[in-house]
Amino acid sequence: MAERQHLKDHFIEQRIFHNRSIFAIFFTLILFGILIFRLFILQINNHEHFTTLSQNNRVSVQAIPPTRGLIYDRNGIILAENLPSYTLQIIPEQTTIDIDILINELSLLINIREIDIKKFKKEVRRKRRFEGIPLRFRLSDEEVAIVSVNLHRLPGVEIKAQLSRFYPYGKETAHVVGYVGRINEKELKTLPVTNYSGTNHTGKLGIEKSYEALLHGQVGYQKVETNVRGRVQRVLERHNPTPGDDLYLNLDIKLQQVAIEAFNGKRGALVAVNPENGHILSMVSMPDYDANLFVNGIDSKTYNALNQSWERPLFNRTILGSYPPGSTAKPFFALAGLETNTIQPDHQIFCPGFYQLKGKAHKYRDWKKWGHGKTDIEKSIVQSCDVFYYDLAFKLGIDKMHKFMTAFGFGQRSGIDMLGERSGLMPSKEWKKRVRKQVWFPGETVIAGIGQGYVLVTPLQLALGTATLANGGHYFQPQLVSAIQRKVDRIPRPVTPQMIRKIPIKRQENWDQIYHGMTEVIHGARGTARRLNKPGMRYKIAGKTGTAQVFSVAQDSSYKEDELEERLKDHALFMAFAPADNPKIAIAVIIENGGHGGSVAAPIAGQVIAAYLDQFSDEELKRPAQKIPAIPSGQPSTPSTPPDSTAPAYSLKSIQHGGHNHG
Amino acid sequence: MASQTSSQSLFFRLHIDVTLLMGLIALVALGQIILYSAGGESSALMQRQAIRLGIAFIVMLMIAQISPDTMRRWSPILFIIGTVMLIAVLFFGTKALGAQRWLDLGLFRFQPSEMMKLAVPMMLAWYLSGRHIPPRKLHLLLALVILMLPVLLIAKQPDLGTSLLVTCAGLLVIFMAGVSWRLILGFTFAGLAFTIPMWLFLMRDYQRQRVLTMLNPESDPLGSGYHIIQSKIAIGSGGTFGKGWLNGTQSHLEFLPERHTDFIFSVFAEEFGFSGILLLLSLYLFIIFRGIYITTQAHGTFARLLGASIVLTFLIYIFVNIGMVSGILPVVGVPLPLVSYGGTSIVTLMAGFGILMSIHTHRKLLAH
């Protein structure tokens, strides 16, 4: 019985096990079926999708920053270049000790400023751990040597050679060329993201800012295979960046140096223009500063010293300074009187030393207490008679003055290829009603006649007005850049001078009469700038001195007693062109609180004119003006270039910013 | 033909199943090829694995010499030793990667949970083979108690993968012993009901996280979902024929985590594609079917239950590993059997195949 039971159990057991084994086989096949189905979906159905994902995983695109374009002066002297410089950087991933200790260690070896550490820490948060983060720029050879011998105990420290912007004439060109600086957060929002993905610096001021789009170039990129931490394994393909265009300026750095030397530490501005085409030959704003300070971050102490100085070295007076033109406006008004037939060429007044409006008791004084006596047009210019112009202004009326002066570019932006210029002010009845919400008083016309009152000009405007007067009414758009050169062909493409308007000449004799008066200012026996008249001069200068009253010092600014006295002195002005019969240079000089124009401003202009005209032969000085754009000397001229390529590829952005922007 | 039979009988006398051995050698060889690529073309890594494989093969051949009858008699002792060591691990174990799994025995470190992968099914097979088949309810209950004790100890370490595999090995013994389908269904529902308190009280945060990201890996692509997403990209980008040996970008550029251990399948799938996968799965299927064949031919309940459990646990290994790297199962840390780099699991697996060989080659001797 037990035996049978056992056999029966054995049989049942066998059957159960057999059934379960068959189930196990099915179970196995089902599980494998699930796996194969799943893998089929991943590998065959969604293959493309995952291939794309895999590609994106491993291939990353890295930006290669373009080399910034160079800036030359009109003679091919370099004003902004890229020099190899040594940067000390730290790769956080490779440091084995605390970064603060490492920096401390480094500061024992070389000079590391607070600002360097601050900027470094800011970037540590932004960048990935295997990327080098700059701590110090522009190490000296000595510093490189000191760090190099200690590298073995400075894990993660690296010295990298890279290009850094350098301005050989950093002081002389700071107000013209400007400078580049590290891109700040505000600029990050406005600069094209892709094109700047590898760039650390951007133009902050001057040409560097205005021509940023051309100077920067086009970013290149390389496709690299990276591992999961982003470290580059190998380069798959490389697209080289397009370097930025080189710029040739109309500026003559030698002339610039002469002008700065002539200033001899005085505050003020000078602008020299070629009246034949509007080319800016020299542009000086004093005091100046070294643009190189700003390239890799200026420390706050130096910056504050520059920014808070009452002499305002960072303030570009040539385009931002607004000054009453004073007597330098007189030749324009005299011409206005003649051309509008308000006065005749033989017009004369009697100057008793003051002027009175009919029925008014107020006396408008002449600078010469006892008056000039009988005064005609020439005399009014040569001796700068105020009463003549009080009367003339009253006869013209402010609106005619406004209309005439506007044609010469006063009271409006010139359109110079530098951002941020001020417009000055040439008042009118309409202007006063619109802006001041007041009616115009006749007395305001009277003082406008001697370039006071509401009238304000920038040194640039005064130079341009002088050039327009000199060349017979051709108003050119001022141009700093003369040619743009692409790196590929190295052919400078000249920027065509743009003549904005031609002022119609009613009678050539009217203009000649003004020219004559202005020439007498220098070469006449009683001219206010007769000290410029030197024996044996190869050319004659036509000019006009000016002295502008300083009405008030800004109430909120703090000043010392002696400083105040200095700052209430009159501004000295001078405008001139030469040679008088064939103008090749027009110039405007303003010396802040300098006193009398004839004694302070005129000599500076005289030195610049002399230095510029010295390079011309006698024959060239007499040759009539040629309306061709200047191209840098030493470069082949390209008369056959198609017209579209000679036109500037770059239009000045209409962004206007008031004052100095610190990057 | 005659020489073949004689050699067959020679292997038979050495207690080696040639068919199974061939399948294992083919699989291990393929595994070494994958490992070379997955390990960053490191021959040192391959050498270490080859030494382990050698030891594992020797262990297999040694175990094959022990008759199933001897194994059966030693089963309870082995189980008790294993359980005691698991308790010891809880108190004196070495910590690594947030889990306490190893016993430092001076000369070498030992992982008792690995031993339990075999000791638990052996114990259950011993217990159930001495009882009525199919097992009665009381026996079943006791069998579950025997199973749960080590499983809970392992889960406490925590080692979710191993506790899962040990549970499977045990349950498979009970299943093969002929538990009625009604009970199986009942327990399945009970098990599902058990998952709720397990989720709340037993699972560690990282284990819960694994399950959650398995359900939606894209929800946390840079964190815990990263492994699964990268693994799926590796597999999917392999396509039909793969990117070629040593050309897998996902693995060689280090996007794929744990390339030479748990995620080695993804490396293989990326480099050899769907066709390579079919080859690998065929090898696995061959070994499993040979194993099932051996168990159906086995003599004695103990041998059948143990053999079937070993074979089907091997299947579970494969399914869980490939399932997890392809994103249909949570990442629980189960290696791809005989391919993944790592010592203990290979020795345990080969010991299991040693038992199968023993079952097959001791059969006729028993019959007489």
* Residue B326 to residue A34, Cβ atoms within 8 A: no
pLDDT bracket for residue A127 (50, 70, 90): low
pLDDT at B179: 84
* Residue A233 to residue B253, Cβ atoms within 8 A: yes
Residue span of the structural domain in which B117 resides: 77-200
**What percent of chain B lies above the pLDDT cut of 90?**
44
How far is it, in rounded angstroms, from Cα B111 to Cα B184?
31
> Looking at beta carbons, which residues of chain A come within 8 Å of B269?
39, 42-43
In degrees rounded to 5, what are phi and psi of residue A482? Answer: -95, -35
> Looking at beta carbons, which residues of chain B come within 8 Å of A28?
285, 288-289, 292, 312, 315
Tell me: pLDDT of B74 over 90.
Answer: yes
Tokens 């299991």: give the residue: B352
The residue of chain A with its CA nearest to that of B257 is: A228
**Mutation target vs A (from B249, B268, B315; most A CBs, 10 A cutoff):** B249
A24: nearest CB among B240, B312, B322: B312
- Retrieve residue B361's tokens: 């080659």
Catalytic annotation, pick one of A85, A210, A285, A327: A327
List Cα–Cα distances, B221 to A633, B234, B329, in angstroms: 62, 15, 17
Tell me: pLDDT of A652 over 70.
Answer: no
State the alpha helices, DSSP H only, in chain B.
2-13, 18-38, 43-65, 68-92, 112-129, 137-155, 160-176, 181-197, 205-215, 226-238, 249-252, 264-297, 301-325, 343-361, 363-367
Both A244 and A138 in a single domain? yes
* Residue A43 to residue B296, Cβ atoms within 8 A: no
Which amino acid, residue A637? S
Both A178 and A232 in a single domain? yes
Q: Is residue B349 part of a domain?
A: no
Phi-psi label, residue B273: left if phi above 0, alpha if psi -120 to 50, beta otherwise = left
pLDDT bracket for residue A433 (50, 70, 90): very high
Tokens 């509007």: give the residue: A278
* A225 lies within 8 A of chain B by CB: yes
H/E element holding A502? strand A499-502
- Contact indicator for A326, A528 with CB cutoff of 8 Å: no
Q: What is the pLDDT of residues A67-109, one digit of tens each?
A: 999 999 999 999 999 988 888 888 877 777 788 888 888 888 8
The residue of chain A with its CA nearest to that of B288 is: A28
Shortest distance between the Cα of B132 and any Cα of chain A, in A, equals 8
Tell me: pLDDT of A429 over 70.
Answer: yes
The neighbouring-strand residues paired with A494 are A483
Both A314 and A273 in a single domain? yes
Q: Is residue A163 part of a domain?
A: yes
Q: Is residue B26 part of a domain?
A: no
Computed over every residue of chain A, the mean pLDDT equals 84
* CATH, residue A357: 3.40.710.10
Tell me: pLDDT of A656 over 60.
Answer: no
How far is it, in rounded angstroms, from Cα B8 to Cα B364?
14
Average pLDDT over every residue of B182-196 = 83
Q: Is residue A54 part of a domain?
A: no
- Contact indicator for A99, A188 with CB cutoff of 8 Å: no
pLDDT at B223: 57
pLDDT bracket for residue B99 (50, 70, 90): low
Q: What is the pLDDT of residues A172-226, one digit of tens each?
A: 999 999 999 888 878 877 888 778 877 878 999 999 999 999 999 988 888 777 7
**Which residue, A218, A249, A280, sits at the end of a domain?**
A249
pLDDT bracket for residue A470 (50, 70, 90): very high
Range of weakest confidence among A36-40, A463-467, A546-550, B3-7: B3-7
User: Following CA atoms A328, A332, A335, A341 in sequence, which dihedral angle do they give, to the nearest 10 degrees?
Assistant: -120
pLDDT bracket for residue A551 (50, 70, 90): low
Return the exposure string of A272-292: e unless at least 16 CB atoms fall within 10 Å of the residue's CB, then b: bbbbbbbbbbbbbbbbbbbbb
Q: Is residue A208 part of a domain?
A: yes
Between A and B, how many CB-CB pairs are < 8 A?
132
Both A312 and A228 in a single domain? no
Which residue has better confidence, A115 or B88? B88
**What percent of chain A lies above the pLDDT cut of 90?**
48
DSSP letter, residue A218: B
DSSP secondary structure letters along A322-360: -B--GGGGHHHHHHHHHHTTSS-TT-EEEE-SEEE-TT-
Both A536 and A453 in a single domain? yes
> Looking at beta carbons, which residues of chain A come within 8 Å of B173?
none
Q: Is residue A13 part of a domain?
A: no
Both A265 and A245 in a single domain? no
* Residue B133 to residue A25, Cβ atoms within 8 A: no
Which amino acid, residue B334? V
DSSP secondary structure letters along A422-491: ---B---HHHIIIII-SPPPHHHHHHHTTT-TT-BB-HHHHHHHHHHHHTTSEEEPPBSEEEEE-TTT--
Q: What is the pLDDT of residues B11-40, one digit of tens each?
A: 888 889 999 999 999 999 999 999 999 888
How far is it, in rounded angstroms, from Cα A365 to Cα A356?
9
Computed over every residue of chain B, the mean pLDDT equals 85
pLDDT at A229: 59
The residues in A 27-86 lying below 8 A from B, measured between CB atoms, are 27-28, 31-32, 34-36, 38-40, 42-44, 46-47, 49-51, 53-54, 57-58
- Contact indicator for B322, B265 with CB cutoff of 8 Å: yes
CA-based nearest residue to A162, from A127, A183, A138, A131: A138
Both A244 and A359 in a single domain? no
How far is it, in rounded angstroms, from Cα B132 to Cα A402?
121
Both A461 and A585 in a single domain? yes
* Residue B253 to residue A58, Cβ atoms within 8 A: yes
List Cα–Cα distances, B87 to A159, B83, B149, in angstroms: 58, 6, 10
Average pLDDT over every residue of B269-274 = 94
pLDDT at A645: 35
* Residue B233 to residue A21, Cβ atoms within 8 A: no
- Retrieve residue B186's tokens: 């009942």
Shortest distance between the Cα of B310 and any Cα of chain A, in A, equals 12
Both A448 and A533 in a single domain? yes
The residue of chain A with its CA nearest to that of B234 is: A54
Q: How do A585-591 and A268-274 pair as beta strands?
A: antiparallel
pLDDT at B306: 94
Active site residue A482: no
Both A244 and A324 in a single domain? no
* Residue A24 to residue B250, Cβ atoms within 8 A: no
Residue span of the structural domain in which A198 resides: 62-249
What is the ipTM for the molecules in this complex? 0.91
Q: Is residue A657 part of a domain?
A: no
Q: Is A643 helix (H, G, I), strand (E, B) or coil?
A: helix
Q: Is residue B86 part of a domain?
A: yes
Both A350 and A234 in a single domain? no
* Residue B133 to residue A16, Cβ atoms within 8 A: yes
- Contact indicator for B341, B37 with CB cutoff of 8 Å: no
Q: Is residue B32 part of a domain?
A: no
* CATH, residue A159: 3.90.1310.10
Q: What is the pLDDT of residues A605-639, one digit of tens each?
A: 999 999 999 988 888 887 765 543 443 333 333 33
How far is it, in rounded angstroms, from Cα A335 to Cα A512?
10
- Contact indicator for B166, B117 with CB cutoff of 8 Å: yes
How far is it, in rounded angstroms, from Cα B368 to Cα B359?
15
Count Cα atoms within 13 angstroms, Cβ side, for A211: 31
**Mutation target vs A (from B174, B233, B258, B283; most A CBs, 10 A cutoff):** B233
A31: nearest CB among B308, B315, B326: B315
H/E element holding A32? helix A2-40
Q: What is the pLDDT of residues A224-251, one digit of tens each?
A: 777 665 667 778 778 888 899 999 999 9
The residue of chain A with its CA nearest to that of B243 is: A51
How far is it, in rounded angstroms, from Cα B154 to Cα A561?
90
Q: How do A71-72 and A246-249 pair as beta strands?
A: parallel
Domain count, chain A: 2
List Cα–Cα distances, B119 to B170, B173, B216, in angstroms: 10, 12, 36
Contacts of A255 (CB under 8 A, 6+ apart): A272, A281, A282, A608, A611, A612
pLDDT bracket for residue A651 (50, 70, 90): very low
Q: Is residue A466 part of a domain?
A: yes
In degrees rounded to 5, what are phi and psi of residue A568? Answer: -95, -5
pLDDT at A128: 63
* Residue A28 to residue B328, Cβ atoms within 8 A: no
Q: What is the pLDDT of residues A317-334, one digit of tens each?
A: 999 999 999 999 999 999
Both A151 and A104 in a single domain? yes
B237: nearest CB among A9, A39, A50: A50
Tell me: pLDDT of A463 over 90.
Answer: yes
State the alpha helices, DSSP H only, in B39-67.
43-65
DSSP letter, residue A69: P
Tell me: pLDDT of A552 over 70.
Answer: no
Domain count, chain B: 1
- Contact indicator for A273, A478 with CB cutoff of 8 Å: yes
Measured from the Cβ of residue A45, the count of other Cβ atoms closer than 10 Å reads 11
